Amino acid sequence: MMKNKGRVVGLDVHPDSFAEAVVEGRDPASAVVSSTSTRVELERLEEWALRHTSTEDTLVLEASGNAFAVGARLRAIGREVEILDSHRAGQVGKVYCANDRVDAVKIARIYLSALSPIVWQPDQKTLERREIFSAYQAVVKESTRAKQQLRSMLNEHCVRLEKGFRLCHPYAIGRLLKVREWTPARRMLLQQLHGSLLAARARRTMLRRHMAQEIVAEEALLRLSRLCGINLITLYGVVAAVGDVRRFTHSKKLVAYLGLNPSVSQSGNFQGSGALKRHGRGALRALLIQSGKKLLEVNNPLQKWGLAVAARRGRNKAAVAVARKLCVALWHVMMGHAIGTLERLDTLQTKLSKFATEIGPAALTAFGYNNRADFVQKKLYVLRSYP
């Protein structure tokens, strides 16, 4: 909620500069722009803020690539900072926004009008986790792209690989070069594509290892692995996106944050619900729906309920419904509540064994475990001690 104790300063921030507009007033209609400036060097941010603003002012930014870093710099010098949702702010300003000065004024007026929600500003640990998860998503795309390009080149030259051939194996390039006669230029292309694939796979393995080590090191995170259908990537992605779960006062708010709530259509006497819309965290929504589809196929506490929904509404809608159930369960576990949608003992052992594989033997020894079996037994004892 807006605090009318001082001025509102709109900031339109770019990678190397920013524009500002100081607006005085309690509402958009009576607000007056008292001063503006553009192309101020971002290096002078603190100097400018100390000179032209006070602790009574509210500095407002639109969510962008460096908005959280800029907000942290301003809070470090005692300034109050709010960050607006970029999607909502962009919709309000589509008609007349044409330059940085107008953008800065628009940001201040949108804040006064309360037409755009305030974005939660994550702590440094959550920001770091989001960067790790984003890097993992990027490297997965890079790995898939490199593999498809390599397969495409082989297909162009009528090369068919035998069943079980692993393109990501380090020795695969030697076998590929022998399947037929290649010109020097095409040999170079094959080696480059295969090298890109190996590099992407290596970075992917490194990121997965970091995620697994971080989850195992914190019992609060490891506790989430008790939920059926929650694997390493989904678990880490949820933790990175949610941050402080206490900002969601109800499980329905987390469901809406991840975009798993159906759209609502109401006009006059008509009222109904529709399909999912493209809002919320799309990557996590996709991961949870994938988990929901898998849970419909294996024995688990949600399968019977999910199959009953599938019989009435179809398997796709049932997968979304199961994903929504998982989201609610995640909220309860993160809040410390007791729940019932837990993995069976044998499945949980398999999941912990996969965690141990991701961590690697050297890291297991460094953490004080004798081997994989020792790690699984000790972590299983810890997980089963939770209510």
Predicted local confidence at residue 331, as pLDDT: 93
> Do the strands 264-267 and 270-273 form a parallel or antiparallel pair, or are they unpaired?
antiparallel
The 10s digit of each residue's pLDDT in 316-359 is 989 999 999 999 999 998 998 877 778 788 888 889 999 999 99
At 365, is the secondary structure helix, strand, or coil?
A: helix
Adjacency order of strands within the sheet including 17-24: 32-41, 17-24, 8-13, 58-62, 80-84
Token pair for 3: 């605090």
In whole angstroms, give the CA distance from residue 102 to residue 94.
Answer: 12
Quick: pLDDT tens for 78-119.
999 999 988 777 766 555 456 888 888 888 888 888 888 888
pLDDT of amino acid 267: 62
Tokens 């008292």 correspond to 34
Residue 364 contacts residue 356 (beta carbons within 8 Å): yes
CA distance 205 to 199: 10
Decide if 85 contacts 63 (C-beta within 8 A).
yes
Average pLDDT, the chain: 87
Distance CA 38, CA 41 (A): 9
Half-sphere exposure of 166 toward its Cβ, with a 13 Å CA cutoff? Answer: 6
* Alpha carbons 309 and 292: distance in angstroms, whole number: 12
Concatenating the DSSP letter of every residue in 28-78 gives TTT-EEEEEEEEEEGGGHHHHHHHH--TTSEEEEE--TTHHHHHHHHHHTT
The count of C-alpha atoms lying within 13 angstroms of the C-alpha of 14, restricted to the half-sphere facing its C-beta, is: 14
pLDDT score recorded for residue 116: 82
Q: From CA 387, how far away is CA 385, in angstroms rounded?
A: 7
Higher-confidence residue of 270 and 69: namely 69
Say which range, 87-96, 183-192, 198-207, has the weakest mean pLDDT.
Answer: 87-96
CA atoms within 13 A of residue 230's CA, in its CB half-sphere: 26
pLDDT score of 265 = 64
Which residues does residue 22 pair with via DSSP β-bridges, in sequence order? 9, 35
Q: How high is the pLDDT of residue 2?
A: 47
In whole angstroms, what is the distance from residue 57 CA to residue 344 CA?
54
Share of the chain above pLDDT 90, in %: 51
For range 184-201, the mean pLDDT: 94
Q: Give pLDDT, residue 269.
A: 64
Q: Virtual CA dihedral for 226, 229, 230, 232, nearest 10 degrees? A: 110
Residues 19-63 have pLDDT tens digits of 999 998 878 878 888 889 899 999 999 999 999 999 999 999 988
> Phi and psi (nearest 5°) for 186?
-70, -30
Q: Which residues pair with 118 in a beta bridge?
A: 84
Average pLDDT over every residue of 262-291: 75
Task: Spell out the domain ranges in the chain.
Answer: 8-113, 124-217, 219-264+278-343
- The per-residue b/e assignment along 88-112, b for 16 or more CB within 10 angstroms, e otherwise, is bbbebbeeebeebbbbbbbbbbbbb
Helices 315-334 and 282-295 sit at what angle, rounded to 10 degrees?
110
Distance CA(341)–CA(14), nearest Å, equals: 46
User: Per the CATH hierarchy, to which homologous superfamily does domain 8-113 belong?
Assistant: Ribonuclease H-like superfamily/Ribonuclease H (3.30.420.10)
Higher pLDDT among residues 240 and 87, named by residue: 240
Nearest to 10 by CA among 88, 67, 73: 67
How far is 106 from 104, CA to CA, in rounded Å? 5
